Structure 1
């Protein structure tokens, strides 16, 4: 059995490193450079939390092997997944620093979840290999150089300066109060259906639009293994259960796929189902006027189909309880935050923000 790291001790050390990062000073440049490298577009999202949690563990206990994945590997290893889930992730939200990965368990993912130690990892995607080697060699250096707790904390502080900077950038406010509603809808559709990360942008758009109508909206990360309800976006009741499940698609949807989704919504006891699809080559599900009616009668659900971003947004904005000026002023920033939440590429976040220059 390996090393068990006390969560309260880890939280105290992480807060101290965060304070050191905020105060600045002479922090080791190697770790700042590595942190920036691991935030590049091609770098896997899991590598930033992996780096943070390894340095945090070493800052708590100098006996820790920084290449640990699971505590059963040796008497010097710890569970990096447990420390990330129990301390790193919740404090990243509380203190305000961005881990690049947004899930509750960012290390329950490739390449970490099937191995016990970095030395066992062999299969790495070609595009990720350079980043993995830099991460691994830097953590090996921590052990070879016999980093003390304070050295590891300073290294962690250096990494956190980059994470804090990324968090602040994502928190900026985007204002759209100078445009009219029809222009906002057209501009939004053009943006979310072009460039990179289209599936994520479509989902963020739907979530931000639902924010204009429902008090509580949940948007899931794509391919999230922890998702427990059908659909990508959900409007929630006060008790946290879904009132509405929305499936968001950037590729054609067949009648059979729509029925499969409605069936899964029924099985999950969600009363309302919606499909938002925007895709070239999609054959309209609404040309046959009985399609939706048949599904509603067969499954006892309210079913709504929108076959473009603009038609979906137009429907919601008509029925929203918010007045027009409030929608215009809040929606651009709302979609920005929703995109950041589900890990849309930074270049796309910047492109969206550039459409709404500061009026001052």
Structure 2
């Protein structure tokens, strides 16, 4: 349970305790005042509320001081216990006396509820507060121990880091000394290697020049063969295109001749047919009229061949003449 929850529990306990105390005080004043007024001399009845108020004030003081001591974990000895029980018993006696004197046991039980609840809640709240105080103390002790452990760990970590830094400094110094020695050795080796490398480079340069000349010769020969192959490929492609174009022209001419022959046969068939006994379908009739127009037949002859009226054939002849004019 964290500190926030403990504080909330403490506030809830305080609110409940003071609510019970307030209810018990009000109930006690209302119950005890008539009893005290009945045993007070004439003319002094107005002092009747003083006694229950004094007793309840003592209860409030005890509860308040017990709560304050419990929060800090203190104990006041036996006198607060005596005062707490004495005020509680006084409140119980005063609240139940009126009913007890009349022999009303139900009234005694009813009027004993508030005082008994006040006594028990006071003891329980005190125990609760002490338990909460112990819990807070234990929690603070754990937190203090955790802080001490963290501080100890931080000190140990700092010591380890200091030792690591010192060891690192020693290693760096040793590495630096070794590095200088290594650089001096490398410098000697590099000078020796530079002389050998210069000789090798001269020999390599001569060899590379020879290889470059040979490679250039091979490249020129390869480019020459590639140009010859490209020219041969272009010539072959040109021949193939010409052959394909020739075949395409032949196919088109054959198709045109076939179309002309078919159209001629169709016109001849239409023109040599017997006069129609009934109207030809319109597409066939239009073909017949077109063939008659091209053969310079008269409108009446064309009408007899297709079976349509002279007026309709005249309109078709007019369409053919307009097409010739546009062309």
Q: Same fold (TM over 0.5)?
A: no
Larger radius of gyration between Structure 1 and Structure 2: 2
TM-score for the superposition, normalised by structure 2: 0.20
TM-score for the superposition, normalised by structure 1: 0.18
Structure in which a larger fraction of residues adopt strand = 1
Higher RCO, Cα 8 Å, sep 6+: 1
Structure in which a larger fraction of residues adopt helix = 2
